[in-house]
Amino acid sequence: MKTLNMLTWFDKATEFLVGELEIKNISEKEFKELLQTDELYACIPLSLKQLQYIRAKNDFPLELGKYEYFMEFVGDYVLDLQDCTWIPATDETRKPSVEPVKTHQDKKEKK
């Protein structure tokens, strides 16, 4: 199963999720060194030093007074609509099982 390395940030006042960004350009080895752990799972709060390292390679708002930042290492799943179960995501399972419905706007743009 593929794991997604997701940077998430939450509003400190409301605790609402404000943003998330998949971090693809930092290796598992780098994350283990940066976070000082051998296990990458769950939701890990980030320090200023860790955020600066990640931000040097990625663009996201860095406002420590406003947001709390976390690294989340999550499995990549898609919903199998036929069986209503979550299955590991692959190139094959990401393909739509039906054609997208054309909207009024889609038809209008083709004219």
Q: What is the CATH superfamily name and number for domain 3-75?
A: Cloacin immunity protein (3.10.50.20)
Q: Residue 9: its pLDDT value, please?
A: 93
User: What string of DSSP letters covers 18-39?
Assistant: EEEEE--SS-HHHHHHHHT-S-
Q: Residue 16: its pLDDT value, please?
A: 95
Per the DSSP assignment, residues forming a β-bridge with 10 are: 17, 68
Please state the domain extents for the chain: 3-75
Instruction: Label residue 87 by pLDDT band (50, 70, 90).
Output: low
Is residue 57 classed as helix, strand or coil in its secondary structure? coil
User: What string of DSSP letters covers 70-110?
Assistant: EEEEEE-EEEETTTTEEEE--TTTTS-SSPPPPPHHHHHHH
Tell me: the pLDDT tens digits for 21-57?
Answer: 989 898 888 988 998 888 777 789 999 999 999 999 9
What is the distance between the alpha carbons of residues 97 and 78, in angstroms, rounded to a whole number? 12
Q: Residue 51: its pLDDT value, please?
A: 95
What is the distance between the alpha carbons of residues 22 and 59, in angstroms, rounded to a whole number? 11
Instruction: Label residue 91 by pLDDT band (50, 70, 90).
Output: low
